[in-house]
Chains A and B, each alone.
Chain A
Amino acid sequence: MTAFIERRAARSGGIESPRFSRRTLLRSVAGAGAGLTLGLLLPSRGAEAAADAGEGPADARDGEPFAPNAFVRLAPDGTVTVICKHLEMGQGVYTGLCTLVAEELDAAWSQVRPEPAPADAARYNNLFWGPLQGTGGSTSLANAFEQMRRAGAVARAMLVTAAAQEWGVAPAEIETAEGVLRHPASDRSAPYGAMVERAAGLTVPDPDSVALKAPEQFRLIGKGDLRRPDAEARINGTAIFASDIRRPGMLVARVRRPPRFGAVLKTLDEDAAKSVPGVKAVLVLPRGVAVVAEKSWQADQARAALNITWDDSAALTVGTDAIRKQYRELAEQPGTVVRNDGDAAAALSDPEGRTLEATYEVPYLAHAPMEPPSAVAHLTDAGIEVWTGSQVPTMDVLTIAEAARVKPEAVTLHVTLAGGSFGRRANPAGDCVAEAAGIARGLLDRGIVAPVQLAWTREDDIRGGFYRPMALHRVSGALDPNGRPVAWRQRVVCQSVLKDTPFAPILGAPGIDPMAVEGVKDLPYAVPNVHADLHMPETGVPVLWWRSIGHSHTAFAVESFMDEMAHAAHVDPLVLRLDLLRDHPRALGVLMLVAEQAGWHAPMEGGRGRGLAVHESYGSVVATVAEVTVREQTIRVDRMVCAVDCGLPVNPDIIRAQVEGGTVFGLSATLRSRLTLDETGLVRQSNFHDFEVLRQASTPEIAVHIVPSTDPPSGIGEPAVPPVAPAVANAVFAATGRRLRSLPLRVPS
């Protein structure tokens, strides 16, 4: 994970491609049956060192330290299976990974099928994260960009060699396209499937000896018309999510959790629950009580019948109002310094200039993926099998092992499709998977050997904690007598998502969670004096990364305040940004594109307004213009125009979909959602009637424009979210002259 952060930090400075291929070895593993499996052997650190020391090819020396890693499988019927190391949760990563392989393989798009990789950190690690398999931080396409292309290129080279041998011609004379090998000189051709057996017997070439295409040779990458290879399953009901897993003899579990965070079980009377027909067991878990039954409705009934009292002595018994008060008090005190350029304090007290100050607040938010957390676990004496949509399988394997009291080697984790996630299924506390594994352990201890499914209800999800943290930003700025911004001071109050997790070691200087200040610490505007500090209060509310993490609130504060500075200076907010971002060509590119596409300077009639925001995250930059109509207390967002620079657009339509979806996700947080606790610590919301998200009726037209680029691809799953809230708030100001500084936006009466 350290590597993950370093890599992200490196990326934010400039674009780079993961370099792994130099010492990568590929070899073919003829699998059972007549298929060709390409195993990509990634040397471990030790092997890299050995290779550096000139000890020869790593696998020739010793196969042990290397786990074979298959990304491509070709069947005699021509099917190309791409084994996808990243979780498909709607972001289109299967399409992306398949595109990269199919591009270099010269496969026909219709013959490509995605398949989820199992949990295996050695073979399926995220190359930005070190030895960790995981999907997050919008890293998937970027880390796999070269890896997947090489996997495809090597497969193609082997098919060419096979055909050359079969036909007795030189490999260089063979052409490939659309899954067909051709020798024009002799007018021979064969589909890939026909060469699979012969290719499987060949020695795998050194991947570095296999040329990758130049961008102008791409036929799939960058083309807008590729349909998701798994689209049909998603519209005919056959796509299988974790909650759809059905195993023979499978039992169903429900868990009653304490209503207050940090509470523990005091007394349990299980008699009524146990008398519900079909109930097999009542199990006490570290956080709650599980009932296990044959049928879901029996489990629901039994859960309701549990007679429980909770011990609240260590529980959080205050509400979000009190936490907000604590935040506001902290905002009066200096925090841990995150950045200090020049002398912001001096510039802010210059009597010649003008200063302004504003406070921005955002609430806790649940992720609320449409599929609530869900897992199936089956523990036997041989080990445990688990099915779940896991964003970080390496972490979940350890969670499962601990909860089921087995060795990590005894865990088999099947990664299923996920019905959305947005960070929820990347929980270091592993709440749902830990519960499922713990229940499986409890069953086995009682002599019940059966798979068990734990499917959370929506109420479990909304009240289950692990929210986007509440945050407060106090920002001060100074303008010199000419109206130029000369100082920017920002105090962030935000709970840490990293603290108390296994990733705590990557916390920066004491008291600095990089994820609380991303977007502030790296404030891109050319302001000579910048000071930023941070408070990370403990609140007792469990928090977690939520689509775009810290950027989800830092951009709201930064981009709103930039708008306030522009208005104070009587400068057009676009013009001020163009000026202060003059050293950031990609930001300028998206700003210019969005301004042109949105018609930034076109006048708007009364009650309507246009707002702008730009933000860089995960190596990509997105600029968004919002157009709103405000009538009395109602904000209607009419149109969102977005421009994105995410490097080489591998799948333009997926990029558009992610920007559309990220914009809708951002609009939910801007206009609707908030998670609050009452003054006794109970979560007030429970389901979509009170934890509101955007619906069809409030969804504006969303236009997405992609900046052409040949830089390596950067993130796309998250970067559209941060600019949404400030763009809308700025538009509300333009429409009404009222500055709204708290999310969700509410126009006071």
Chain B
Amino acid sequence: MARLTINGTVQTLDVPPETSLLNALRDELGLTGTKYGCGLSQCGACTVHVNGDAVRACQTYVRDLGDARVTTIEGVSGPVADAVRAAWLEHDVAQCGYCQPGQIMQAIALLTRQPNPDDAAITAAMNGNLCRCGTYGRIRAAIRSAARMLSLATEGAEP
């Protein structure tokens, strides 16, 4: 039995400890928004947040998670997530959409740490997320838009 904190809820799973987080999410919890693309940390389709950091669920194992907070595309929320989603819609980024949950989780983690990333920072953060449909340009544009939205919101919030 494993206990995991997923999207704010403690879940008890009957899986061996060497099960990948990706399999636990997709096959045990029905959280299929997190995708499989390679199983080798080569594509980023499985990106989730563990304690707010973007990690590859395919190479993260249930036994290593302990009390860590796992957040998936289904559960991610907050101003950064809202800005990223709004920017993704504004730029109509998704083609097939299969890689997009991973891209979005990666982008949210980036903008949470670094609200105003320059181009090099965007490249560095997003380079591990493949998109065979070729939406890279729109992803970059959407991250810039989200950063702008967030900076406007922050300015607006100041007295």
Check if B135 is an interface residue, CB within 8 A of chain A. yes
B102 to chain A, nearest CB (A): 9
The one of B39, B40, B100, B140 that contacts A696, using a Cβ cutoff of 8 Å: B140
Q: Is the CB of A688 within 8 A of B126?
A: no
In the complex, are the beta carbons of B23 and A296 less than 8 A apart? yes
How many residues of chain A are within 8 Å of chain B by beta carbon? 57
A653-B93 Cα distance, complex, nearest whole Å: 11
**A418 in contact with B96 given A369-B132, A688-B42, A695-B130 (CB within 8 Å):** yes
Q: A residues within 8 A CB of B15? A: 295, 297
Determine the residue in chain A with the shortest Cβ distance to B19: A297
Q: Which residues of A contact B38 (CB under 8 A)?
A: 458, 687-688
- Complex CA–CA separation, A419 to B38 (angstroms): 13
When C-beta atoms are compared, the residue in chain B nearest to A418 turns out to be B96
Using Cβ atoms and an 8 Å threshold, which residues of chain B touch A689? 40, 42
A662 in contact (CB, < 8 A): yes
Are A244 and B32 within 8 A (Cβ)?
yes
B123: chain A residues at CB < 8 Å are: 696-697
Contact B85 A696 (CB under 8 A): no
Indicate whether B95 reaches chain A with its CB closer than 8 angstroms: yes
Find chain A residues with CB under 8 A from B73 CB.
Answer: 236-237
- The verdict on A171 contacting chain B, using a C-beta distance below 8 Å, is no
Question: Is A217 located at the chain interface by the 8 A CB criterion?
Answer: no
Q: Write out the residue numbers on chain B whose beta carbons fall within 8 Å of the beta carbon of A236.
A: 33, 73-74, 85
Interface residues on B, range: 35 or more
> How distant is the Cα of A236 from the Cα of B40 in the complex, in angstroms?
24
Q: Determine the distance from Cα of A246 to Cα of B20 in the docked complex, in whole angstroms.
A: 19
CB of B3 within 8 Å of the partner chain: no
Chain A stretch 268-324: residues in CB contact (< 8 A) with chain B:
295-297
How far is B31's CA from A697's CA once the two chains are assembled, in angstroms?
30
**Is A719 positioned at the interface, with any CB of B under 8 Å from its CB?**
no
- Rounded to whole angstroms, the CA-CA distance of A688 and B45 in the bound complex is 12
Given known A-B contacts A231-B92, A370-B37, A696-B123, A665 and B132 have beta carbons under 8 A apart: yes
Alpha-carbon distance A458/B97, docked complex (angstroms): 18
Do A227 and B139 touch (CB < 8 A)?
A: no
Interface members, chain B 83-132 (any A CB < 8 Å)? 85, 88-89, 92-101, 104, 122-123, 126-132
Indicate whether A90 reaches chain B with its CB closer than 8 angstroms: yes
Contact for B39 among A240, A241, A457, A699, CB less than 8 A? A457
Q: B97 near A696 (CB under 8 angstroms)?
A: no
CB neighbours (8 Å) of B138 from chain A are: 657, 660
Task: Give bound CA distance, A417 to B94, whole Å.
Answer: 13
Q: Are A664 and B134 in contact (CB under 8 A)?
A: yes
Q: A90-B96, A419-B96, A687-B40 are in contact. Are A660 and B32 (CB under 8 A)?
A: no
Contact with B along A352-388 (1 / 0, CB 8 A): 0000000000000000111110000000000000000
Q: Which of B20, B23, B36, B133 contacts A420 (CB 8 A)?
A: B133
30 contacts between A and B (CB under 8 A): A90-B97, A90-B98, A227-B89, A228-B94, A231-B94, A234-B100, A236-B73, A237-B34, A237-B73, A237-B101, A238-B74, A241-B35, A243-B36, A296-B23, A297-B27, A370-B96, A371-B37, A372-B37, A420-B133, A457-B39, A458-B37, A653-B92, A657-B135, A660-B137, A660-B138, A662-B134, A664-B134, A665-B132, A696-B122, A701-B137
- Which 7 pairs between the two chains have the least Cβ-Cβ distance? A237-B33, A664-B134, A419-B98, A234-B97, A90-B96, A90-B95, A661-B134
Q: Other CB < 8 Å A-B pairs besides A236-B85, A664-B134, A693-B130, 8 of them?
A: A90-B94, A231-B89, A232-B89, A235-B94, A236-B73, A236-B74, A295-B27, A458-B39
